[in-house]
Chains A and B, each alone.
Chain A
Amino acid sequence: MRARAFAARITEKFPDVKVDWMKERRLKVSTTADRIAEVGVFAKEGLGFDHISTVSGIDWIAKNELEVVYFIGSTTPGQEDFVLALSEHVQRSNPVVPTLMHVWRGVEYHERETHEMFGINFQGHPNQNHLYLPEDWNDLPPLRKDYVSPGR
């Protein structure tokens, strides 16, 4: 199973990286905010995951954590069908993570969206102004679980 082989290569180099789940064509690994850039560079240059697909946030309010997941596809021949999910957890009270724009240029607008929707601060990001939300949005980040839609 390829997912197992990729997981082995990542954990061999970064023993503290945790393997969350494996499927035939998917692998999710999680690390910490201060290690994610190194793991990202290895995933891109060592494993050939060069084509960013999307970035998602998740609000784990019960654990008082926020999660950022980078989904990275590949244009390397033979592994185009594989998607690597690289995740990091941060405390809800101080959600600061580094930007990965220097690894994958294309994460710029995805990170900007994750910033406004989850209130996660991407350090080093050139522009974290509101993209999809109104400029004068003055409430909790809307995809956090403690934000309740009007009328609910």
Chain B
Amino acid sequence: MTVQAEYSPDADRIMSVSLGPQHPGAGHFRIKLWLDGDYVVRSEPDAGYVHRGEEKMGEYRNYIQNVPHLERPVILDSSNILFPYALGVDELMNLKVPQRGQYLRVIMSEANRIISHMYFIAIQGLFLGHTTLITWCMGDRDFWIDFAERIGGARVTFAYIIPGGVRNDIPPGAIKKGLETCDWFDKRMDEYEKIFFQNPMVHQRSDGIGVLSRDDAIAFGATGTVARASGLAVDVRKDEPYSAYEDFEFKTPVMTQGDVYARSYVALLDMRESVKIIRQALKKLPQGPVRLKLGPQPRVPAGEVYSRTEAARGEMSYYIVSDGSPRPYRLKIGVPSAKNLGVLPHLLRNVHVADIPPIYWGLNYWPVESDR
């Protein structure tokens, strides 16, 4: 891409445009754009249209009451936003979660990763003009939602991963059904590769678009699929194995191009690893209890904890400060969308207007998650 337009506030030809917050793809999010004809010369993200004060709410509720409302910011990935919260409270209370509970946490977390990535790839297909992919992915996604529903009892917000373990045991039928879904999904992903990822049209629309270098990924604190597409192999599951992740064989997919194509393809490779993990976990699920009984208002000793896990979009972290009272004194949710927000104005410079949707969506940015 060789666009040489420079931003100058005085130039008559520069036009400022608001993209959103009612844009059908962007959702509750606005991007302020400064355009020179068809070229974006500068941009500024404007978040906050769905800010609901989750952190303040957390200070008014006790550690168990916090479970259901904390997963609302990211309903596609609802187990993964609870996971580090549960790990943090476990650590503060010094709980030893039973091994079966740890395995079920991993299974639910990986199922949510697939559910989230399927949505991501579906909409990326839509933005790149590939209507088949959105219908396929949205349809196939439901089989994973069915699997999660068998375990968690709900289709979207499960409140499944809780301090002390998981809410309930897995029903026997779900194990067999889950293994069947894994086998079927492996074949299905081969078809996604053929129809979308090896499609010359898709390559033309996404190769070399919105390139983020590895150094910039480190400097901006990029995480998740965005970082891994730029050659930065960050994966909390590998870097700092939590729950039972050290028991499973899987790889961290990394690509080096750092463009829109790589960011989409890394999500597919991620799902392949998730299927591997779910299959191993279902096969060697240990016997025993799945949770420790904490009661409705557990006593959490005073202390501070910084816990993190790998959610679908990247590193999800919680900073919990307890003063010994039944409620957290401070509950900071470090969400991956907010961590990747700074990358957006860096990439939306010197690009065509037509490339805004794939670049924006390629960051896997979820406004509700970022706003909290």
Residues of A within 8 A of B (CB): 20-21, 25-26, 28, 50-54, 56, 58-59, 69, 71, 73, 75, 80-81, 83, 85, 104-110, 113, 117, 130-134, 142-143, 147, 149, 152
- Residues from chain B with a CB closer than 8 A to the CB of A59 are 330
Complexed CA–CA distance, A73 and B220 (Å): 12
CB pair B317–A53 under 8 Å, yes or no, is yes
- Residues from chain A with a CB closer than 8 A to the CB of B232 are 75
CB-nearest residue of chain A relative to B334?
A54
Which one, B45-53, B103-111, B185-193, is touching chain A? B45-53
Q: Across the A-B interface, how many residue pairs have beta carbons closer than 8 Å?
A: 92
CB pair A105–B330 under 8 Å, yes or no, is no
CB pair A149–B53 under 8 Å, yes or no, is yes
- Residues from chain A with a CB closer than 8 A to the CB of B60 are 149, 152
- Residues from chain B with a CB closer than 8 A to the CB of A133 are 48, 51
- Residues from chain A with a CB closer than 8 A to the CB of B234 are 51, 73, 75, 80
CB pair A50–B218 under 8 Å, yes or no, is yes
B27 in contact (CB, < 8 A): no
CB pair A109–B319 under 8 Å, yes or no, is no
Complexed CA–CA distance, A133 and B372 (Å): 11
Interface magnitude class on chain B: 35 or more
CB pair B51–A52 under 8 Å, yes or no, is no
CB pair B218–A75 under 8 Å, yes or no, is yes
B56 in contact (CB, < 8 A): yes
- Residues from chain B with a CB closer than 8 A to the CB of A83 are 306, 308
CB-nearest residue of chain B relative to A85?
B306
Which residues in chain B, 325-372, are within 8 Å of chain A measured between CB atoms? 329-330, 332, 334, 338-339, 341-342, 371-372
List, sorted by A's number, 19 A–B pairs whose CB atoms are closer than 8 Å: A21-B304, A25-B240, A28-B304, A54-B339, A73-B315, A75-B218, A75-B234, A80-B239, A105-B342, A106-B221, A109-B341, A117-B55, A132-B51, A132-B372, A134-B48, A143-B55, A147-B56, A149-B53, A149-B56
CB pair B330–A56 under 8 Å, yes or no, is yes
- Residues from chain B with a CB closer than 8 A to the CB of A105 are 219-221, 342
B321 in contact (CB, < 8 A): yes
- Residue with the highest number of chain B CB atoms closer than 10 Å, among A59, A80, A147: A80
CB-based closest 8 A-B pairs: A106-B221, A54-B334, A81-B240, A52-B221, A80-B239, A132-B48, A56-B332, A132-B51
Say how far A40's CB is from chain B's closest CB, in angstroms: 14
Say how far A65's CB is from chain B's closest CB, in angstroms: 13
CB-nearest residue of chain B relative to A80?
B239
Contacting A71 at CB < 8 Å: which of B317, B338, B342, B371?
Answer: B317
Contacting B371 at CB < 8 Å: which of A20, A85, A132?
Answer: A132
Say how far B229's CB is from chain A's closest CB, in angstroms: 15
- Residues from chain A with a CB closer than 8 A to the CB of B221 are 51-53, 104-107
